[in-house]
Structure 1
Amino acid sequence: MKSHLDAYRMAALCAALSVSRSGYYAWLARPQRATDLHDAIRACHTAHKARVGAPSIHAELVGSGLNACARTVGRHMHYLGLRAKGSQKFKRTTDSNHGKLASPNLLERQFEVCAPNQVWVGDITYIRTAQGWLYLATVIDLYSRAVVGWQMSGRIDSKLVCDALQAAILTRGKPTGVMVHTDQGSQYVSNAYRKMLRESLLIQSMSRRGNCWDNAVAESFFATLKKQAIHGEYFATRELAKQAVFEYIEAYYNRIRRHSTVGWLSPLNFENLYYQSLEDSAVH
């Protein structure tokens, strides 16, 4: 049709070919729309440093006002050869052969809570550097999946987890009555850690021995962190690894990365909606 528009009127061509004007213009615009979608997908994939796959990129595009279904985004990513970074298995750092009495499992895999600062989960992982292992302890709020406290050290000891917990306590405004769930690692049954819990009026909960599913949220975060920020990277020093973890947690994960569990919002955006709803309720 396009090649005959100089010789024939649009109405005559549409009638002859049994198509509508709107249908023709929609067909004419498709190549440009596909190009725009490709550009948007590439930009999003690059901005996230190839950390996320089609579901997250789809949520990002919809959030920016681009209308495309998840399957279409996935198909175009496949066409463009774009994919998220792969994952690798990693060893456990838990040492539960300490002979100390573990606290009961109060959480019992109830990973959905209705407000911030009701349940925090903690765990430890390791990062390889040319200077040796670097250990990371985190504290995550189950409500939003935000990392509310974290600490890194070349030593895997009670000070590491105490510093991470202290960071969470200060970041969250010293809340009381929060359940803090971890595995049965020796660091979490240490006198120093338990003293901090008692003095801060926090409640200790522990996974059953050898059962990683009881702390699945903390385990999942570490898997995501390693897939998106650690695997494939070479850290000549512990300091370089610390910088990478800082950038991932503080600049990306908490503020930008969309999480399926919280409606494809970032953890902090999800919390902001909660506090905004409280303000709106108070006004009305």
Structure 2
Amino acid sequence: MRRPWCTRSPSSTSPPANTYGVPRIHAELRRLGRCVNRKHVARLMHEHGIQGAHRRRRRSLTRPDRKAKPAPDLIRRDFHAATPGTKLVGDITARPTGEGWLYLACRLDLATREVVGYSMADHHRAGLVVDALKMAAGRSRLQPGSIAHSDRGSEYTSSQLRAAVDKFGLRQSCGRTGSCYDNAAAESSWTLLKEEIDTRTWPDRATARAEVFNFIETFYNRRPLRKHKVFGYLTPAETRQRHQHDLTT
């Protein structure tokens, strides 16, 4: 059995790939026209020592601003959306480089699980999350009054972000302090990022930027299969296209 989308060896420095477990390998084989039983896939993977990538504990960047008045939680752990552009979640992570940390902020559309906005910088001030929101507003059709959800970090409770939210006609939402489950959908994207490009240190921020860009644009949005409750296993880009097709119809 070939080893597509399963964990690579710890010493590997190969490009993003090799993280799928039994459910997604089975779904991918079915998409390719291979009639195979899921239990058969699981048995073969077990016999050959193949397994999907495991989640690792991530470094938290959330630093709440005690003086700021956060927005209410409009999501309430309901990470589903019927229509694209109605619910966005956001978070920040950091990747190590030889020049110091590279910080990455993203905005994820809950209807498609597609990264519609992101920004990278050598800091994680408010401007980082504002730029990610601006990109989301520029490249996707955000509905008036759509929700922009995040944790209660100081970047997300800043006056700069509030001004951007108001400018685009959105509603700001924040989870509770110290509760990662209130923003679980956004944090799960970082899990996949770390599983795919590992935790190695890049020589400089430019190299890290290029690889993160490649991960988002050519892998995350177009390759991983996710099980949609209506459409079945699709990539984020395919899910968006299916929504657009249904809307046109």
- TM-score, normalization by structure 2: 0.90
* Separation in structure 2 between the aligned mates of residue 150 and residue 93 of structure 1, nearest angstrom: 16
The answer to whether the 8 A contact 1:44-1:60 is kept is no
Tell me which amino acid in the other structure corresponds to 1:65. Answer: G
Gaps of 5+ in 1: 1-37
Calculate percent identity across the aligned residue pairs: 33
* Separation in structure 2 between the aligned mates of residue 85 and residue 278 of structure 1, nearest angstrom: 36
Q: Is 1:101 equivalent to 2:69 in the alignment?
A: yes
The answer to whether the 8 A contact 2:5-2:20 is kept is no
* Separation in structure 2 between the aligned mates of residue 51 and residue 171 of structure 1, nearest angstrom: 28
* Separation in structure 1 between the aligned mates of residue 45 and residue 134 of structure 2, nearest angstrom: 42
* Cα gap change, 1:205 to 1:91, in 2 (>3 Å): same
The answer to whether the 8 A contact 1:134-1:152 is kept is yes
Partner of 1:271: 240
Greater C-alpha Rg: 1
Q: CA deviation at 1:175?
A: 3.9
Tell me which amino acid in the other structure corresponds to 1:237. Answer: D
* Cα gap change, 1:44 to 1:85, in 2 (>3 Å): closer
* Cα gap change, 1:216 to 1:236, in 2 (>3 Å): same
Higher RCO (CA < 8 A, seq sep 6+): 2
- Could you list the per-position Cα deviations for residues 223-251 of structure 1 after superposition, in whole angstroms to 9, with x for gaps in the alignment? 121122233x3311112211221111110
What secondary structure does 1:123 align onto?
A: strand
* Separation in structure 2 between the aligned mates of residue 197 and residue 108 of structure 1, nearest angstrom: 19
* Cα gap change, 1:71 to 1:153, in 2 (>3 Å): same
- Could you list the per-position Cα deviations for residues 237-282 of structure 1 after superposition, in whole angstroms to 9, with x for gaps in the alignment? 11221122111111011111101346221011012111112222xx
What secondary structure does 2:169 align onto?
A: coil
Instruction: Pick the aligned partner of 1:160 from 125, 128, 150.
Output: 128
Q: Is 1:244 equivalent to 2:244 in the alignment?
A: no
Higher share in helix: 1
* Separation in structure 1 between the aligned mates of residue 3 and residue 174 of structure 2, nearest angstrom: 43
* Cα gap change, 1:180 to 1:43, in 2 (>3 Å): closer
Q: CA deviation at 1:202?
A: 0.6
Moved more, 81-90 or 161-170: 81-90
Q: CA deviation at 1:123?
A: 0.6
Please give the root-mean-square deviation of Cα atoms over the aligned residues, in Å: 1.8
Partner of 2:3: 42
What secondary structure does 2:71 align onto?
A: coil
- TM-score, normalization by structure 1: 0.79
Equivalence map 1:116-265=2 (5 Å): 116-173=84-141, 175-231=143-199, 233-261=200-228, 263-265=232-234
Higher share in strand: 2
What secondary structure does 2:234 align onto?
A: coil
Q: CA deviation at 1:48?
A: 6.8
The answer to whether the 8 A contact 1:169-1:175 is kept is no
- Could you list the per-position Cα deviations for residues 37-83 of structure 1 after superposition, in whole angstroms to 9, with x for gaps in the alignment? x2xx4356599721222211111110010011222112212223333
